[in-house]
Structure 1
Amino acid sequence: MACCKSLVALLVLLLQSFTPPVLTEATKTTSLPLANTTRDKVRCVKRERNALLTFKQSLTDPSGRLASWVGSECCIWKGVYCDIQTGNVIRLDLNDRSDNCYWKKMDSLTTGNSSCLGGNISPALLELHYLEYLDLGGNDFKGLATPTFLGSLENLRYLNLTLSSLIGVPPSLGNLSNLEYLSLHAYAYPYDTVERGWVKDLSWVSSLSSLRYLHLSHVNLSLAKHWLESFNKLQSLEILDSQNSSLRYLPYSLPKWNMTSLSYLYLSGNNFDNPVLPKWFSNATTIEELDIGYNNIKGPISSIEWGKLCNLRELRIMHNKINGDISQVIEGLSSCSNKTIEVLGLRSNEMTGELPNSLGNLKKLRIFSICMNMITGTIPTTIEHLSGLQTLDLGENQLKGDLPESIFSFSDLIELRISTNALEGNLSENHFARLHQLKVLTLSCLGNFVVNLSSEWIPPFSLIHVELRACGLGPKFPSWLETQKQLRIVILSNSSISDPIPPWLWVMCSQLHWLDLSGNQIGGTLPRLVNFPTSFDSTVEFFVSYRYGVVVDLSSNRFHGLLPLWPNVTHLNLANNLFSGSIPLNIGHVMTKLQVLDLSGNAFTGSIPYSITRAKQLLRLDLSDNHLSGKIPDWWYSLHQLQVIDLSGNNLSGRIPPSICSPPSLFWLRLSSNNLSGEVPNSLRNCRNLLALDIGGNKINGTIPKWFAESLLSLQMLRMTDNKIGGHIPTQLCHLPNLQLLYLSRNNLIGSIPSCLGSLKLLKSVKSYKWVPNYYYFNYVFTSKMELIKKGTKMTYTFTLEQVNLIDLSCNNLIGEIPSEITNLSALGTLNLSWNQLSGRIPEDIGRMQILETLDLSSNHLSGSIPLSMASITSLSHLNLSHNNLHGPIPTTNQFATFTDPSCFEGNPELCGKPLMKDCPQAKKNETDRKFEEDDDEQEIRLFFLMGAGVGFVLSFLVTFISLMKKKSWAYWCFHVMEEVGERIIMCFLAFVTCLNRIFSIRRIRSIY
């Protein structure tokens, strides 16, 4: 995946720029007296020289990195270090630090030769008996298994195989008892998916008693169940890095915490099953950096005693589902005497509460990120004490009140993100006067929050990322952005801009990576794309003018005629504007780095350009709601990274092409509201990761494929409305475990409603997870969209689509009764079975569907009375039972009191009562009202009887007891009578048993004879 590769590439560069303390220390400890220069008179050991030459012969070296490995003095060879006194090789450093090898593996090396070493790793290294340091990182061994003989290099103290495309971790490494540094960072694209490289057992790690640094990120540890127990035996361990390792088991507690030296713990990006915020974090009191982000961890923030973690400098738990009051973590950390915390990253969780005043006590805080939570209240004024803040990220919460003026005095501030809150205030140019270091600014103007920036303003900063949503910047394009020469990301959505895209923004083509101008009134046509340099000389000016007809004015950087489009842009969003004309035919040739292309909601015409196939990294393609025509092209084979295709709302015709499911990661396919024809193609079987399939509003015929349940097991939303699909509803649909939306209305379906629909798992209980891929990237650049009819109104659902649980089978030819099993769907929100030929009664237990908001059973042949249980569905807000054969009184209690529109019940001649004009006869009083009245009377009578009986019993008992205590003769007489009565009862019981015995004896004798 190109996106993943790019993200990992960025991560790798960040990791390479970060030198952990233990890495520096490990390098020092292994840097014993060395020699590899001609000034040192060190004689190479012949046996070791021969071993190195044998090792070299097994390698491939296309760039000649080992060209110096000639002659007899191996101690001066590149990467070879010897002990000055003995001449033994103690260090072999062949790490490729040029990054060329890595970028070649990522298919991004454009110039120069790769400096990768490859081939095989010869066991001749075993002849280097004194080897303490071995670094083969950054090379490309193309999925070779990590050699097991490395575990026999018993003097090794440093072993680095990072990014070497070796797979697997041999347990023999547990023999290296002197090892202090072990790095097996195994991102080995495309070999990292090979199952034979997955680690099943980590028990060998506990033997590495000297280990201080352990780096296992991107090593697949999904089969290692007791990984933490193994690591917990390493008392010397200082850094544990197991990010993106597919770990599945996260214990909640540990019997004893033994990693008493641990300072750095990185566990982000794993796949924990049912993870809960671990309690054992409270015992890790030596931790300085803790990163457990992107793990889907749940549980309250109070699970950890934050007041114990007083050495904590950096805390990152973002992108989880941790809940609870945010003040608990802030007040806990502020209770420490030393208050070391510098980074507090809590973004994208489910935390609530208000920011406490104790926030001001964390005076060393540099990064404070709490965006995408549910934090309420105001920003405390004590934030003025955090003068060293570099990142303040409060966006997408529910904060209110004024934005403290003190924030704009933080001269070190680099990132200011406060969008999507309920803040108030009026920001002007003066507020930004002291923010000279600002690089990222994100604001959204909602409610009483206003931003006033004049076009002539010259900012004191140079932004890289600007995001101003709904801030009413128009109608003119904000010209002050022209002064921002380092811009990479520009987001000016819903800003009332009607100006054309200014020429200076086209000139930024070489630097711009992200452009979002959606939701404005920008019109015109996109120019034919020209890819030429932005720094011109007279030659280029003449060439461009002659070849492309572009008038280039070098003095003002203004272009007339054809314009270049941004060749480095990865995200282009021009949705919901007034653009017209055709999509440039060579858009993919020029914009080869595109990952997101969203041109939806405009007036583009013509066909879909073939050049889009050149954008190999494309993840999302949205051309919906335009006037595109022609056939859907059949060239999807080449777009391997594509995850979202939305071509709905156009004039496309023909059949669904066979290759459209070729992208293996495709999870969203929307082709609705076109003129597509033919049957549902078998090629859709290949969409095995599909979450949503929307082909409604076309002319598709045939039947619903039975193989949906075999191949599309991930499917959660199926929309096939407004087609010509016939046949029965296949029972196989009931086996889709994640189906939450089934929309088959306005087709030619026949037969009965399958009773097994009542077993749809996801509709039987309220779901507690998001169906959109669970990572921040798609939450930010992709908004789900689907057109549905709910509560009788056609609406386009976006952000709330994941909350819609719906079954709509209306406008077909279905017959038979409504299956009673459908009342098992207690999480269903909308049920529409109208305009069919259904008969029989409405299920009596329909009241079990307590979350039902919309129920439409109109225009059928249903009979019987309205079930009394329906009155208990308190969430029901839209009801239509019209044009059936229902009879009897309409209930008037509970929810039915809100249905005052007669059209909900008309067309049922035998129905009576409000809101219809037909009154029910007095003798036939409303059964529901009578039932409720009888129930109320019965309850009152029962209550009075029980109260009277209770009082009477207590009084009788007290009178009898007191009398017997006063008169002993009465007590003797009473007990005597009770004794006689008891004896008589016993005698009668014995006589009765004797009689029964005789009767049964007589019957047995008769049966014998």
Structure 2
Amino acid sequence: MESKSFQLILLILFTQLFCFTCIEYHFVSSAGTSNVGTCIENEKKALLKLKENLTDSSGRLSSWIDQENCCQWHGVTCDNKTGSVVKLDLRNQLSRNNGLGGEINPSLLELKKLRYLDLSMNNFGGVKVPEFIGRLKELRYLNLSGASFSGSVSSFLGNLSNLQVLDLSFYSEKPPENDLEWLRGLSFLEHLNLGGSDLSKVADSWLHTINNHSRSLLELRLPQCQLLKLPSSFPSLRLSSLLLSSLEYLDVSSNYGIKGPLKKSLGRLCNLKTLILSYNSISGDITDFVDALSECQSNSLEALDLNFNELSGNLPATLGQLKKLKILQLRFNSLTGTIPESIGGLSSLETFYLTSNKMSGNLTPNIGQLTSLVSLDISDNMWEGILTEAHLLNLSNLQEFSVGMTLGKNITLTFNISRNWTPSFKLTFLTIQSCQLGPEFPHWLKDQNELTSLIFNTAGISDAVPDWFEDLDLKLDNLDMAYNLSGNVPDKFQFNFLANVDLSSNLFEVPLPLWSSNITSLYLRDNLFSGPIPVNICEALPNLTDLDISHNNLNGAIPLCMGDMNQLTTLALDNNQLIGQIPDFWGKLPYLYLLDMSENRLSGQIPGSLGSLAYLRFLRLSGNNLSGEMPSSLRNCMRMISIDLSNNQLSGLIPSWLGETMRSLLILSVRNNRFSGPIPLKVCSLSGLHILDLSENNLSGSIPSCVGNLEGFKDELTSAEASQYQGKLKLEAKGRILYYDTILYLVNSIDLSSNSLSGEIPVEITSLSKLGTLNLSGNHLTGTIPTDIGNLGWIETLDLSKNQLSGPIPPSLTTLDFLTHLNLSYNNLSGRIPTSTEFQTKDDPTIFQGNDALCGPPLQQCSNGGTTISDGGMDDDGETDDEDKLEKIWFFAFAGLGYLVGFWTRVSNNFGGVKVPEFIGRLKELRSLNLSGASSSGSVSSFLGYLSNLQVLDLSFYSDLPTEKDLEWIKGLSSPAPLLLAGPLRT
């Protein structure tokens, strides 16, 4: 996050530096200035004293020597009549390491006629801005931006009454706490930049101050001024209060505290040329604001940036009246509707970004009238209909075009462009994904020989790459044609340095291609590549940082030369037919972050050099034939998040050091190996664990009571933790192996089944309130089921079968609202099965069979007499295979869609009467749920009330509508409108 913030600051600084350079002509080209006059002797001495106190690693002041005319020195400009120094431009245009440092000598005061002072982008190491700058009364231009000073300037800069341009953006290493009252003295100020200052303490007065004391302002920049820290008495910034009728440039981006709608009064700033309000919390419709702009007699707006806000509603038709608009950026909002027909009137528009909104409908062909358009990005919206050459016909200046979805959801937009059409533009950047571009490879690309980035991900192309495409002789930075093509891979692709290539999930055959040493990221997973990994891969692709060749038909051994690919951060070789031992070269790959060699035919021991991978976070070696012990050197991988060594022949003890050094571990799976001995107590130190699978080993001893310390099973994942879950895992649920991928971060599971564990179930395990699966079956556990088992409020799967548990079934078990899979069979339980409305729905007798002293429904009679109850063709958990498959569909439909695709779910299918699964009540982020006509059964009243964020619920013609009494659950929905319950309620 810090890195991204620093990059954003740099971007703002360089952008502002460029723009402020544009106004220098006021001070540089004025009559009477020159760099060839004769300087005044005492001013030369003053400059030499200034140099003495500065450090100059780049040698920019090397021309400052006593024997030379100071008017000819670098950065110095003199008046050609008097010889006085009027301009001192010492800004750093090189890297930060080459900036000037040290201190500013007061000798600067000898420059009595100095009008221009620029110390920006240097590195003064946190020294305070010298107060004597406030005595340079002739200054018109002062730029201290990005110079790494410190301290407030409010006590002295107000004395510079002639100042016209002031840039203090990010001038301090720490945001200074400045008030704005000092602006009173700057009555001629025209350009003001306070970006990065801390204005949180004046959040309720800054507009008033600027309005009253800076009426001459043409340009106002206040990005990242911490205006998000607003006092409760001033909940939102009223930008509509601005009275600066002369203002031409306004930037209050990246403050986040600016909220509420764009008022019509703001649109009446008719002289505005640039308005930047991105990265705030502005909401509502923009119609009034745009209408006001369009009503200006002489509308001047050229750039409007509203990216990353909370805008909603449709784009107004009056948008087409902003004739001078060149840049329109509306990315990452919640705008709806379609692009208005009037858009064609924006003949000056060069940049149009609508990325990541909620827009839909047909694209207007009037887009094709934007003859000045250079960059068009309308991706991540739900466009429909047909896109023809009419949409692109007159875009002769177009260089960048993006459409489709990047989040894995297809849209119905279809390209229907004639094979003979030749576009008038020459694209450099083209992205078309998750819509229908194919089935043929697009012929209109035949003349697009200037492309550097080409993305056709999931574009419905079933064709092979044509020969003419290779003949374009493209030099690409980015190539993504995943989920499309077939045939052979072209062998003539050329790539620029640091290129990214993704040809995953196609039907490419033949050996792996090795195109260019310039490639840094290569994704070829899920194809039909065969043969061995080329032994010269390290020589052909020496700059690789990411290599994914998983899910192919590769065979042979892992080439030893891969140990020389020392820039690798991710290496995925899984799901191939690789053989031999894992090479012992990992000490030469210091940056490796993810290593996946699972599901191959590798044998031998895990090499000890894996322990040298200090940055390794994901290690997956499952599904091989590995043997021996877990190497102790792995204890050095202290950043590890996920370890999967399941389905091998590993033996020995589960090491204690796992809990000593891998404190960030979220997933530990060693299922189906030959580990023996006790569960180490140190495992309980892995407080972040969300998946612990030690099943199908030879573990003995008791379950440690410290299992209650596993805090990860008590709390929901934070968004930061969830983002760290990558890849896939096989886990047991419902008595069978399930393959988890995109929803892995939703799983909270402990599986200790099929071992030789003994003793009682520790009562501390009942404190793991967010545990979803607990499987202790197939051990030698004794004692009773803990009385407080009902505290496992999120449990869905509970399997305690095939142990030696005794005593009654605790009544608290009947309170588990989300429990859908229960197996208590083959124990020594006794007494009557508890009865409750919820528990009686578990009417499968096989759940309880093998407990001779257990009786009551759903058992027909106590089984003391040896009566055998038929399972009626059911599986181990009492469901038919068809019901099982349907419930899986439910799980992936809701867990996958509900969490990964916009938190919106609709199910209008025929599920054959299977019950709606109760875990839907755990999809806390759901905003819209549609079960209309879904042919499912069962009441939903016991769990839908947990969906507190639900805004739209449609149960119309759902086959088992709730009863009138059941409607109490609606009280749990904080915003249940609109609510559809079409069809008669049951009484």
Equivalent pair of 1:215/1:242 in contact (CA under 8 Å): yes
Structure 1 partner of 2:802:
859
2:768 to 825, 833, 837: 825
Any conservation in 1 of the 2:318–2:342 contact (CA below 8 Å)?
Answer: yes
Does 2:707 match 1:757? yes
* 1:465 aligns to 2:451 (yes or no): no
**d(CA) in 1 for partners of 2:144 and 2:673?**
57
SS at match of 1:869: helix
Residue 387 of structure 2 is aligned to residue 427 of structure 1: yes
1:214 Cα offset (Å): 1.9
Structure-2 change in CA distance of 1:573 and 1:878 (3 Å): same
Comparing 523-532 and 336-345, the one that deviates more = 523-532
Aligned AA for 1:811? S
Corresponding position of 1:74 = 70
Shift of 1:305: 7.2
Aligned partner of 1:193 in structure 2 is none
Query: Is contact 1:518–1:577 with CA below 8 Å preserved after alignment?
Result: no
CA 1:381 to 1:573, structure 2 compared with 1: closer, same or farther past 3 Å?
same
CA–CA distance in structure 1, aligned partners of residues 459 and 846 of structure 2: 43
- Offset of residue 659 of structure 1: 5.6
Match of 1:238 among 183, 192, 216: 192
Q: Which amino acid aligns with 2:192?
A: E
After the TM superposition, which residues 712-723 of structure 1 pair with which residues of structure 2 at under 5 Å, given as runs?
712-723=662-673
Matching of residues 163-312 of structure 1 within 5 Å: 164=122, 166=123, 168-171=125-128, 173=130, 176-177=133-134, 181-183=142-144, 185=146, 202-203=151-152, 208-209=157-158, 212-216=166-170, 221=174, 227-228=176-177, 238-242=192-196, 260=210, 263-267=220-224, 279-282=235-238, 286=242, 289-290=250-251, 310=267
Identify the match of residue 834 of structure 1 among 769, 777, 780: 777
| Distance in 1 between residues matched to 2:316 and 2:384, nearest whole Å | 23
Which is higher, the Rg of structure 1 or of structure 2?
1
1:950-979, Cα deviation, whole Å (9 max, x unpaired): xxxxxxxxxxxxxxxxxxxxxxxxxxxxxx
Match in the other structure for 2:971: none
Structure 2 counterparts to residues 560-575 of structure 1, below 5 A: 565-575=515-525
Residue 480 (structure 2) pairs with residue 512 (structure 1):
no
Matching residue within 110, 114, 117 for 1:158: 117
When you count helix as a share of all residues, which structure comes out higher?
A: 1
| Worse overlay, 511-520 or 639-648 | 639-648
C-alpha displacement of 1:46: 8.2
Q: Indicate conservation of the 8 Å contact 2:91/2:118, yes or no.
A: no
Rounded to whole Å, the distance in 2 between the matches of 1:381 and 1:808 is 56
- Residues in 2 aligned to 1:737 and 1:291: alpha-carbon distance in whole angstroms: 42
**8 Å CA contact 2:512, 2:533 repeated in 1:** no
C-alpha distance in 2, partners of 1:273/1:748?
57
Aligned with 1:715: secondary structure? Answer: coil
Aligned equivalent of 2:746, options 803, 807, 830: 803
Give the counterpart of 1:691 among 641, 658, 663. Answer: 641
CA distance in 1, matches of 2:673, 2:745: 24
Q: Which amino acid aligns with 2:313?
A: L
1:938 corresponding residue in structure 2: none
Question: Measured at CA, do residues 525 and 404 of structure 1 come closer, stay the same or move farther in structure 2, by a change above 3 Å?
Answer: closer
In the superposition, relative to structure 1, how do residues 472 and 442 fare at CA in structure 2: closer, same or farther (>3 Å)?
closer
Secondary structure of the corresponding residue to residue 906 of structure 1: coil
Partners of 2:613 and 2:29 lie apart in 1 by: 50
Cα distance in 1 for partners of 2:233, 2:695 equals: 44
Residue 512 of structure 1, CA deviation: 1.0
1:739 matched to 2:689: yes
- Aligned partners of 2:521, 2:621: CA distance in 1, in Å? 22
Q: 1:78 to 1:274 in 2, by over 3 A?
A: closer
Q: Distance in 2 between matches of 1:278 and 1:413?
A: 41
Aligned to 2:847: 904
Could you say what the CA RMSD is over the residues aligned between the two structures, in angstroms? 5.2
Alignment check: 8 A CA contact 1:626 1:650 kept: yes
Find the partner of 1:725 among 667, 675, 679: 675
**Take 1:889 and 1:812, find their aligned partners in 2: how far apart are those partners?**
29
* Aligned partners of 2:591 and 2:613 also within 8 Å: yes
Query: SS where residue 789 of structure 2 aligns?
Result: helix
* C-alpha spacing 1:527/1:707, structure 2 compared with 1 (3 Å): farther
Q: Whole-Å Cα distance in 1 between the matches of residues 16 and 828 of structure 2?
A: 75
Aligned with 2:401 (options 440, 455, 458): 440
How much does 1:603 deviate? 2.2
2:45 maps to a residue whose letter is: E
Letter in 2 for 1:650: N
Rounded Cα–Cα distance in structure 2 between residues aligned with 1:772 and 1:232: 46
Residue 628 and residue 314 in structure 1: after superposition, are their counterparts in 2 closer, same or farther (change >3 A)? farther
Q: TM-score, normalised by structure 2?
A: 0.68
| Aligned pairs (5 A) from 1:342-357 | 342-347=303-308, 355-356=313-314
SS at match of 1:212: strand
Separation in 2, partners of 1:275, 1:642: 46
Report the TM-score, using the length of structure 1 for normalisation. Answer: 0.67
Q: Give the direction of change, closer, same or farther, for the CA distance of 1:866–1:517 in structure 2 (3 Å limit).
A: farther
Q: d(CA) in 2 for partners of 1:733 and 1:273?
A: 42
1:877 to 820, 824, 838: 820
Provide the rounded CA distance (Å) in 1 between the counterparts of 2:437 and 2:413.
13
How far is the alpha carbon of 1:382 from its aligned partner? 7.1
3-state SS in 2 of match to 1:738: coil
What is the CA-CA distance between 1:485 and the residue it aligns to? 1.9
Which shows bigger deviation, 459-468 or 610-619? 610-619
SS state at 1:771 partner: helix
For 2:578 and 2:650, the matched residues in 1 are separated by 19
* Distance in 2 separating the partners of 1:732 and 1:289: 58
Q: Distance in 1 between matches of 2:25 and 2:518?
A: 39
Displacement after TM superposition at 1:43 (Å):
5.0
The CA distance in 1 between the partners of 2:240 and 2:353, in whole Å, is 27
Distance change >3 Å, CA 123–CA 328, structure 1 → 2? closer
- Give the Å deviation of 1:579: 1.8
How far is the alpha carbon of 1:277 from its aligned partner? 14
Q: Deviations over 1:788-812 (max 9, x none)?
A: 3344453443332232222233333
Whole-angstrom distance in 2 between the partners of 1:647 and 1:61: 49
Judged with a 3 Å threshold, the aligned counterparts in structure 2 of structure 1 residues 208 and 817 are, in CA distance, closer, same or farther, namely farther
Name the CA distance, whole Å, in 1 between partners of 2:741 and 2:181.
Answer: 46
Cα–Cα, structure 1 residues 385 and 435, in superposed 2: closer, same or farther, change >3 Å? closer
**Inter-partner Cα distance in structure 2 for 1:708 and 1:167:** 46
2:414 match:
450
Q: Which moved more, 1:28-37 or 1:509-518?
A: 28-37
Structure-2 separation of matches of 1:231 and 1:719: 59
Pick closer, same or farther for the CA change 1:30–1:404 going to 2, 3 Å: closer
Structure with more relative contact order (C-alpha pairs < 8 Å, separation 6 or more): 1
In the aligned structure 1, how far is the partner of 2:602 from the partner of 2:744? 25
Contact residue 26 and residue 181 of structure 1 kept, 8 A: no
Q: Is residue 379 of structure 1 aligned with residue 338 of structure 2?
A: yes
The count of aligned residue pairs is: 812
CA–CA distance in structure 2, aligned partners of residues 643 and 856 of structure 1: 35
